[in-house]
Amino acid sequence: MIKLYHAAMTSSHRCRWALEEAGIQYEIERISLSGGDHKRPEYLAVHPLGSVPALVDDEGRALIESAAICMHVAELDPARRLVPADGTRARALYYQWILFAMTNLDGVIHPAYLRMLRMPPEHHRSAATDDERAALRRQLSAIGPSIAESWLLGDSFSAADVVVGGLLEWAYACGLLQGAGAAESYHARLRARPAFQRAFAD
């Protein structure tokens, strides 16, 4: 069975979400970052950088990087519910939005999210600054028309929504998503998905 190395409040949540959406059976190996599990030799043998997530297949082969894991999981689903057909315009946009998330959105969201993690819980939603919120709105303007009333690829939910949505969950947690217009309603629709709720339940 596939094993996901997972730690709360990290990008491993988006991998778990992809697995839940795909309906693929998996085992969770919980990693305590505060307990130093990620620096133990047995985990470094799985992920040499000592971070999460990591996905290990039935043959013991590891895959790291959350976006790559989400894309791989999408390919594992025989029904191909999370990935568009090869060679289509939708497939090109699928690649575009996943790479956009990891290059553009992550660079704006991650610093505010990391700062939030060092703050008391009662201050989490106010961790982001006005300048950071404005920077995120500028980035999200590129996808605003795509998500006003649908998913990134239109009527079809895909792993691109998982990757983008995982980052928007971080943005929401640290108060960065406030005033983001269409992205706020899109995020609310993502949160309403049963697979999202299962993945983020603990």
Residues 102-128: tens digit of each pLDDT:
999 999 999 999 998 887 888 777 889
Say whether pLDDT at 197 is over 90: yes
Instruction: For 152-175, give the DSSP string.
Output: TTBSS--HHHHHHHHHHHHHHHTT
Tokens of 23: 């309906």
Say whether pLDDT at 192 is over 80: yes
What are the chain's domains?
A: 2-76 (3.40.30.10), 89-199 (1.20.1050.10)
CA distance linking residue 75 with residue 83, whole number of Å: 7
CA distance linking residue 71 with residue 158, whole number of Å: 9
State the residue for tokens 């996943």.
98
The DSSP secondary-structure symbol of 151 reads B
CA distance linking residue 100 with residue 174, whole number of Å: 21
E strand or H helix at 69? helix 66-76
- Least Cα distance to 160 among 178, 147, 173, 145 occurs for 147
Say what the pLDDT of residue 123 is.
Answer: 74
Environment class of 73 (CB within 10 Å of its CB; exposed 0-12, middle 13-18, buried 19+): buried
CB-CB contact of 12 with 202 (8 Å): no
Q: What is the mean pLDDT of the chain?
A: 94
CA distance linking residue 195 with residue 21, whole number of Å: 5
Residues 46-95: tens digit of each pLDDT:
999 999 999 999 999 999 999 999 999 999 998 999 999 999 999 999 99
